[in-house]
Amino acid sequence: MQRFAKLLDQLILTLSRNSKIRLLTDYFKTVPDPERGWAVAAITRDLEIKSFKPGMLRQMAEQHLDPVLYGLSYDFVGDMAETVSLIWPTTHGTNYLPTLSDVVETLDQATRAETPQIVEGWLNALDPTGRWALIKLITGGLRIGVAARTVKIALAAYGEKPVQEIEELWHGLEAPYTELFAWLDHKAEKPINAARAPFRPVMLAHPVEEKDKERIDPSHHMVEWKWDGIRVQAVREQGVARLYSRTGDDISGAFADVVESLEIDASFDGELLVYDPDKPPFAVRSFGDLQQRLNRKTVSKKMRQTHPAFIRVYDLLWLEGEDLRSLPFSTRRKRLEKLFEAHDFARMDLSPLVDFDDWESLAQKRAAPPLDAIEGVMIKKSDAVYVPGRPKGEWWKWKREPFIIDAVMLYAQRGHGKRSSFYSDYTFGCWRDVDGKRELVPVGKAYSGFTDEELKKLDKFVRNNTLNRFGPVREVRHEPDHGVVLEIAFEGLNKSTRHKSGVAMRFPRINRLRWDKPPSEADELATLEAML
């Protein structure tokens, strides 16, 4: 437990993903089974531990400490696990330290009545960091800023395997993952994913650059619209149906309406979108509407009615026991079309093909797509087999040009890690009229898109033009004739009730610095509103 606690403690304070991966691989190297496997499960949230109510812990803490002192401490610290771990009195003489495996296995066997006493014994034995990790673990909220994906990458790095192989196995494995580690340690064969409806690692596309165009022959390629949703894989096998994200996370819970509608044994690759229930199927709605359904474990009945989801399918990976991935794309496409002729799927339709005669006509289609939910085109080689990862020269994405506006820098905040001495995160605004007065209203925040040299110049501007300081944030001068104009590129715009301006940008970044332009010439909020 102490080693696991130390790992969590280090992970929480580590900013860079590479350093997190290094900490994890070091842990896998030095910690034996089953301890390391339980740690993987705990971090990837695959660990089902008997719930232990936070209220029980507070009661236990208050048995050792005055409730007023506990309350003052909690108010100051702001985190229950941390408060209890710090105020818990140190008991001398208890020297048996539980391992993570002890904790998981013991709690699995213990009755609800026994649990508090067992936990109390562990809290007595552990140090504050150990207690903190134990409480986080048993109250089910590690929140240490490590994505499941990062753990899979670390496992792959540890075993020197492609991460897709880990993703492919993932849903067939069970904690504490001893089979997986045996394979990664070269002590056993690769485990066979016996689980039904497994995830198949996805194939990704490269962005088209000018130099690529001559290599891409229209007669050997097929084109589809690029939909502005999220990439998913929908699988059904012998009664088991699942929906996976592109990295293999199971998101069935949030999209039960879609999962329930899978009526044949197959594995589809497509784009998850939401549609307007009051219009004929499937009138695609904005990404903002889809976002309301994302990152939820379950979705209310009302949400399912007002924001119904469906999949616009563009590939077929597996059908009734047959793996189609080694077939050329054109063949898979034909099989897919046939399937859609034979079935009327309640929550799926087929992503249509787009004619590709030459680059010029395709450029026109890309510039003026028939629907807002289209963010460009996908160009796929007709004979491409389906390979996980991002193989060169097989699939291409050609996104439409980003939206561009000129905005004025209003606030700047210091960055993290290597950028902690630079003001690198900028809030910018556009003009609007309020009672006849022109004022700047914040419309977004950007922290990328500039070179190191430009960052130095921006940082210098911030330091020399600070109006106010609010902790790590500085307000910078933004007068009609004095300030910085940032040319902002962004992918789309959503209505937002949370932002003062009423709009929220998708993926805003700095396209260019307009030192030449006075702030008075930056764009109006009305320009943005017109894009909605």
Partner 1 sequence: MKFSELLHPTPAGLYCPVGDFYIDPVRAVARAVITHGHADHARAGHGAVLATPETMAIMAARYGENFTNHRQPLALGEKVKINNVDVSFAPAGHVLGSAQAVVDHQGLTMVCSGDYKRRPDPTCQLFEPVPCHVFITEATFGLPVFRHPDDRAQMRDLLASVKRNPDRSHLVGAYALGKAQRIIALLRAEGYQEPIYIHGAMQKLCDLYESFDINLGELRPATLKDGEGTPQDFAGKVIVCPPSAMQDKWARRFPDPVICFASGWMRIRQRAKQRGVELPLILSDHADWDELTTTLEEVDAEEIWVTHGREEALVRWAELNGRKAKALSLVGYEDEAE
Instruction: Point out which residues bind partner 1 (CB under 8 A).
Output: 9, 12-15, 65-66, 68-69, 72-73, 76-79, 82-83, 86-87, 90, 128, 132, 414, 416-418, 420-421, 459, 463, 472
Query: Using an 8 Å Cβ cutoff, are 266 and 316 in contact?
Result: yes
Q: How far is the CB of 20 from partner 1 (least distance, A)?
A: 12
Q: How far is the CB of 152 from partner 1 (least distance, A)?
A: 24
Q: Of 463 and 495, which has the nearer Cβ to partner 1?
A: 463
Which phi and psi angles does 223 have, rounded to 5°? -125, 140
Query: Using an 8 Å Cβ cutoff, are 135 and 81 in contact?
Result: yes
Q: How far is the CB of 267 from partner 1 (least distance, A)?
A: 41
* Catalytically annotated residue among 20, 152, 226, 380: 226
| Paired sense of beta strands 230-237 and 266-274, if any | antiparallel
- Rounded Cα distance between 166 and 173, Å, is 10
Q: How far is the CB of 405 from partner 1 (least distance, A)?
A: 31
Q: Of 136 and 285, which has the nearer Cβ to partner 1?
A: 136
Nearest 10 degrees: Cα torsion 11, 12, 13, 18: 40
**Burial grade of 111 (CB within 10 A; 0-12, 13-18, 19 or more):** exposed
- Rounded Cα distance between 250 and 241, Å, is 11
- Rounded Cα distance between 123 and 98, Å, is 10
Q: How far is the CB of 13 from partner 1 (least distance, A)?
A: 5
Q: Of 14 and 164, which has the nearer Cβ to partner 1?
A: 14
Query: Using an 8 Å Cβ cutoff, are 346 and 306 in contact?
Result: no
Q: Of 88 and 310, which has the nearer Cβ to partner 1?
A: 88
| Helical H segments across 65-214, by residue range | 67-77, 80-87, 100-109, 115-125, 128-138, 148-159, 163-170, 178-184
DSSP character string of 26-37? HHHHHS-TTHHH
Q: Of 244 and 411, which has the nearer Cβ to partner 1?
A: 411
Enclosing H/E stretch for 388: none
Q: How far is the CB of 517 from partner 1 (least distance, A)?
A: 27
**CA 39, 43, 48, 54 torsion: positive or negative?**
positive
- Rounded Cα distance between 475 and 427, Å, is 9
Query: Using an 8 Å Cβ cutoff, are 273 and 373 in contact?
Result: yes
Query: Using an 8 Å Cβ cutoff, are 424 and 459 in contact?
Result: yes
Q: Of 88 and 183, which has the nearer Cβ to partner 1?
A: 88
Which phi and psi angles does 81 have, rounded to 5°? -60, -40
Helix (H, G, I), strand (E, B) or coil at 389: strand
Which phi and psi angles does 32 have, rounded to 5°? -80, 170
Q: How far is the CB of 76 from partner 1 (least distance, A)?
A: 6
Query: Using an 8 Å Cβ cutoff, are 35 and 170 in contact?
Result: no
- Rounded Cα distance between 56 and 404, Å, is 54
Cβ neighbours around 527 below 10 Å, total = 14
- Rounded Cα distance between 269 and 315, Å, is 5
Q: How far is the CB of 128 from partner 1 (least distance, A)?
A: 8
> Is 437 annotated as catalytic?
no
Q: Of 14 and 511, which has the nearer Cβ to partner 1?
A: 14
Q: Of 67 and 281, which has the nearer Cβ to partner 1?
A: 67
Active-site residue set: 226
